Structure 1
Amino acid sequence: MTALTPARVLHSEWHKLWTVRSTWIMLAAATVLTVGVGIAMGASYEEDRGEVSGIDPVQFLLFGTQFSQILLAVVAVLFMAGEYGTGLVRSTMVAVPRRLPVLWSKAGVVTAVTFAATFTTLLVTFTAGQLFLDGTDKELSLTDPTVLGTLLGSTAGLTSLALIGLGLGALLRSVPGGITTYIGGVIVLPEVLRMFPYDAMDRIAKYFPGRAAEALMTLRDTPDYAATGPALLALTLWTAAILGAAAALLRRRDV
């Protein structure tokens, strides 16, 4: 009988992710959307338009991630909750009775795939978008100070959001529930809080996952977002808390 090892569990989860057609479709769509919007933003930029001239130059080109982050989260939710919908989870838990290695392996696979795909996409988006910004106030180079670090931070933020999607899928065991909760809690709720005429609400909203991830896409700290360090810490704590809750429930549930 073949021994069950963490490496074998990880390989199994890697195989599961890439044999599902939706993974390829969603990752391709996220890439095309991010790059396409970045090129469109760069090509249509006019320096004298006051409503966009003040936007951070990196965040300006990465505007497409506002939409592609949802696709990445959907991949993660499907990766976890999809097994409950098909019943495959029963076979998975029989094969791995300790259960938690399954969650950690899925988290490892999501981290590796999302980070690699996203970082490559952001590099292409930034480079392609800058082709149209030569000579403008948003002209930048990858060799400029903090640019590459901002792209890495942006990638880390989007990877954390995908892991939050994975955790929600594990907590709710429902694809529609996980996606709805992600959109409502990560994207919509912070914007609702900002509508209230109270400074405290605005400060709280800055540390919600979606807003914290946006803060990592700026070259310099701005009053609109939390500073880079606190934003990264908040995002890390959110991710750890949701995955930790998912791990605790996974151990207690029958399946």
Structure 2
Amino acid sequence: MTTTTSTPTAYAVTTPRVLHAEWHKLRTLRSTWWTLGLATALVVAVGVLMGSTYDGDDANIDTVVFTLFGTQLSQICVAVLGILLTASEYSTGLVRATMAAVPRRLPVLWSKAGVFTATAFTVTFLTNIVTFLLAQIWLSDTDKALSLTDSGVLGALAGNAAGITLLSLIALGLGALCRSVPAAIGAFVGVVMILPEVLQMISYDVVQSAVRYFPSKSAESLGSINPVAGHNAPGTGLISLLLWTAAVLTAAALLLKRRDV
């Protein structure tokens, strides 16, 4: 008599289950709603302020850039959320349970990146659309009057959201690399945000050309209807930003495999 033993699958580790677990973590954290709520409020508030006080003095600024000026502040909030999604597990000790449940480790990082990308882009893009429409209430009779159907508008709004999302994915990778929330925030603000501004003050052509490919400068080239002076074309900026993001996440993945929890 032959006994057939079937492999239990009730608790098998699968990609959908890891994604579901990371989505559950993201949506149940109060920090998720606080950071996304603050990011949204900043963009909307600054957009309404810019639109309601416009007097024609900034006519040379791209309309979408003018309307979404608040994203310069909100991108820090979204980046902090990306860092919290990875680095906070080390400070709380949750990472031990996570890696015990998913011994291969890498699916955890890719799932975190996946659910974060979908959430950050969706929220940022919808916020951009709402802010643009609200600002147009006051700008409709000015030289900055535009609608969503005008050429390049939706592309610029989506480009801005993509830039913020990719910068925040870099922050997520830095969180996994540093395994410390303060250290990752310091690395993001200091290296990703401030360093390009410092280097830009060096008046050598080779430095000026190199700075254009830095993540923050590449992101700036994506959220404008018209080409931004001193920046690469949007396509080049997107490729550059994607490469930076891939490099940081790859480094995080390599160290995640090699280091002890």
- TM-score with structure 1 length normalisation? 0.96
* Residue 70 of structure 1, CA deviation: 0.3
Partner amino acid for 1:177?
A
Deviations 1:208-230 (A, max 9, x none): 11111111011111322111111
Q: Is 2:250 the counterpart of 1:241?
A: no
Q: Is 2:100 the counterpart of 1:91?
A: no
Rounded to whole Å, the distance in 2 between the matches of 1:69 and 1:91 is 30
Match of 1:19 in 2: 28
Partner amino acid for 1:34?
V
Rounded to whole Å, the distance in 1 between the matches of 2:59 and 2:87 is 42
Find the partner of 1:39 among 25, 41, 48.
48
Rounded to whole Å, the distance in 2 between the matches of 1:200 and 1:44 is 39
Rounded to whole Å, the distance in 1 between the matches of 2:218 and 2:144 is 23
The structure whose Rg is larger is 2
**How many residue pairs are counted as aligned between the two chains?**
252
Single out whichever of 194-203 and 183-192 deviates more from structure 2. Answer: 194-203
Rounded to whole Å, the distance in 1 between the matches of 2:206 and 2:32 is 39
Q: Is 2:210 the counterpart of 1:204?
A: yes
Match of 2:236 in 1: 230
Partner amino acid for 2:163?
G
Match of 2:181 in 1: 175
Partner amino acid for 1:25?
W
Single out whichever of 91-100 and 183-192 deviates more from structure 2. Answer: 183-192
Partner amino acid for 1:207?
Y
Q: Is 2:109 the counterpart of 1:103?
A: yes
Rounded to whole Å, the distance in 2 between the matches of 1:55 and 1:167 is 33
* Residue 53 of structure 1, CA deviation: 2.2
Calculate the aligned-residue CA RMSD, in Å: 1.0
Rounded to whole Å, the distance in 1 between the matches of 2:51 and 2:209 is 31
Rounded to whole Å, the distance in 2 between the matches of 1:3 and 1:251 is 21
Match of 1:29 in 2: 38
Single out whichever of 240-249 and 218-227 deviates more from structure 2. Answer: 218-227
Rounded to whole Å, the distance in 1 between the matches of 2:211 and 2:48 is 30
Match of 2:11 in 1: 2
Rounded to whole Å, the distance in 2 between the matches of 1:189 and 1:125 is 29
Match of 1:217 in 2: 223
Match of 2:6 in 1: none
* Residue 43 of structure 1, CA deviation: 1.0
Partner amino acid for 1:26?
T
- TM-score with structure 2 length normalisation? 0.94
Rounded to whole Å, the distance in 1 between the matches of 2:209 and 2:67 is 25
SS of residue in 2 equivalent to 1:242 = helix
Partner amino acid for 1:59?
V
Rounded to whole Å, the distance in 1 between the matches of 2:132 and 2:206 is 34
- Unaligned regions of 5+ residues in structure 2, if any? 1-9
Match of 2:169 in 1: 163
Match of 2:151 in 1: 145
* Residue 155 of structure 1, CA deviation: 1.2
Rounded to whole Å, the distance in 2 between the matches of 1:75 and 1:119 is 17
Single out whichever of 117-126 and 189-198 deviates more from structure 2. Answer: 189-198
SS of residue in 2 equivalent to 1:195 = coil
Rounded to whole Å, the distance in 1 between the matches of 2:137 and 2:126 is 17
Q: Is 2:96 the counterpart of 1:80?
A: no
Rounded to whole Å, the distance in 1 between the matches of 2:243 and 2:105 is 23
Match of 2:61 in 1: 55
